[in-house]
DNA sequence: CGTGAAGCGGATAGAGTATAACGTCTTTCA
DNA sequence: TGAAAGACGTTATACTCTATCCGCTTCACG
């Protein structure tokens, strides 16, 4: 598996934000760190819970504000079908990605498939539709879980 | 526009449910009727409001149960990005469809595009992923609204 | 320095979405 | 008729997200 360690993702985010002239504050960074460290999508309240180091009391707007920033910067994605968030696996370039979501183990794979992008674009343009945002999520069973089931 | 009148959709639903041996009760039928009559996606609580003929008090589980049934039977679809529901435009055969959602006027177009289906299937199978449910929603501007904007 | 604008974040409240749990009534079918 | 399954009413509650107000920090500008 070529999953980047969370530290690398965070350093990349630092660089990107600096280059863009936006501020990856401690709190935003912490949310990103929590998302990258988790091996699965997290709900806003799960992130909130993880942010509470037993010390501060934190309210929902705190995490939603951080998420808004991270979403705008393309550092995290929202999974609409789960109401949950994941760290982006390749935030260095703007992209629209697709997600394979395992309903059994929670594994999420972020794809950047040209053929899917092209077919969507073509279908939209046929009707004169101008795409802005694209939500592509496939819920099913990952190879690992499928293998176990058929053993 | 070849939009079916709501009555036709309801009669088709009657036939389908009878053939499948499931019960399209008055309440379920009413939810479907409300969705078909609306020219736009409706939230669960909007449906609930429409169901209250000024008489009965109705609670959320009522509409969610009806929606569960209609979703299972493929008579309605859920738009995950809007938390809203629409009547299916061709419920006679099992299908996975894609949605073009106009952010300006709320128009929703249900597509059944072979190329998109094929590219998704191919991308999934490359990783051994077994798809069960597919969420494909493109948010943007419809041809009509785009035309107005550039006038 | 002083000051004002902008951005960030704490805090409270509340809107909107969805489900759990339990009881009752109806339909189905042996 | 009687049992089982399904549909529905009801209450309560969990979960997701936003509005709003206020205070703090930062930083440019005079
Ligand atoms: Zn990404
Ligand atoms: Zn899995
Ligand atoms: Zn459909
Ligand atoms: Zn439009």
Do B128 and B83 sit in the same domain of this protein?
no
Tell me, yes or no, if B140 comes closer than 8 A to chain A by beta carbon: yes
Do B19 and B82 sit in the same domain of this protein?
yes
Instruction: Record the pTM.
Output: 0.92
Do B126 and B73 sit in the same domain of this protein?
no
Nucleotides of C under 7 A from a protein CB: 7-14, 16-21, 27-28
Residues in chain B, how many? 151
User: Does the distance separating the beta carbons of A133 and B138 come in below 8 Å?
Assistant: yes
In-domain check, residue A118: yes
What is the pLDDT at residue B10?
Answer: 94
CATH number for position A22: 1.10.10.10
In-domain check, residue B18: yes
Estimate the crossing angle of helix B26-37 against helix B60-72, to 10 degrees: 80
Do B11 and B82 sit in the same domain of this protein?
yes
Question: B75-112 pLDDT, tens per residue?
Answer: 999 999 999 999 999 999 889 999 999 999 999 999 99
H or E stretch including B108? strand B108-111
**CA gap B31, A27 in Å, rounded:** 44
Question: A27-70 pLDDT, tens per residue?
Answer: 999 999 999 999 899 999 999 999 987 667 799 999 999 999 99
How many domains are there within chain B? 2
Comparison of pLDDT for A140 and A150, the residue scoring more: A140
Residue identified by tokens 């794979």 is: A109
Kindly list the residues from chain A whose CB atom is less than 8 angstroms away from the CB atom of residue B124: 100, 138, 140
**Domain edge (last residue) among B56, B87, B118:** B87
Radius of gyration for chain B, computed over Cα atoms and rounded to the nearest angstrom: 17
Do B10 and B83 sit in the same domain of this protein?
yes
| Chain centroid, CA B86 distance in Å | 3
CATH number for position B106: 3.30.1490.190
Give the phi and the psi of residue A3 in degrees, each rounded to 5.
-80, 125
Do B26 and B66 sit in the same domain of this protein?
yes
CA nearest to A128 within chain B: B143
**CA gap A143, A150 in Å, rounded:** 11
In-domain check, residue A93: no
In-domain check, residue A136: yes
Do A10 and A82 sit in the same domain of this protein?
yes
Q: Tell me, what DSSP letter sits at residue B129?
A: -
Instruction: List the domain range (segments joined by +) for residue B120.
Output: 98-150
| In A21-113, alpha helices (H) | 26-37, 44-51, 60-72
Q: How far is the CA of B47 from the C1' of D9 (A)?
A: 18
Question: B20-71 pLDDT, tens per residue?
Answer: 999 999 999 999 999 999 989 999 999 999 998 767 779 999 999 999 999 9
**Domain edge (last residue) among A53, A87, A121:** A87
């Amino acid at each position: 598996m070529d999953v980047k360690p969370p530290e690398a993702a965070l350093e990349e985010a630092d660089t990107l934000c600096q280059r863009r002239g936006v501020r990856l504050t401690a709190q935003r960074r912490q949310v990103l760190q929590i998302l990258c460290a988790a091996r699965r999508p997290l709900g806003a309240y799960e992130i909130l819970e993880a942010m509470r180091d037993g010390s501060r009391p934190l309210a929902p707007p705190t995490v939603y504000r951080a998420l808004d920033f991270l979403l705008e910067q393309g550092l995290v994605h929202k999974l609409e079908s789960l109401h949950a968030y994941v760290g982006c696996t390749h935030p260095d370039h703007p992209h629209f990605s697709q997600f394979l979501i395992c309903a059994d183990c929670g594994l999420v794979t972020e794809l950047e498939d040209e053929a899917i992008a092209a077919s969507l674009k073509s279908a939209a343009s046929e009707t004169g539709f101008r795409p802005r945002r694209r939500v592509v999520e496939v819920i099913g069973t990952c190879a690992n879980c499928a293998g176990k089931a058929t053993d």
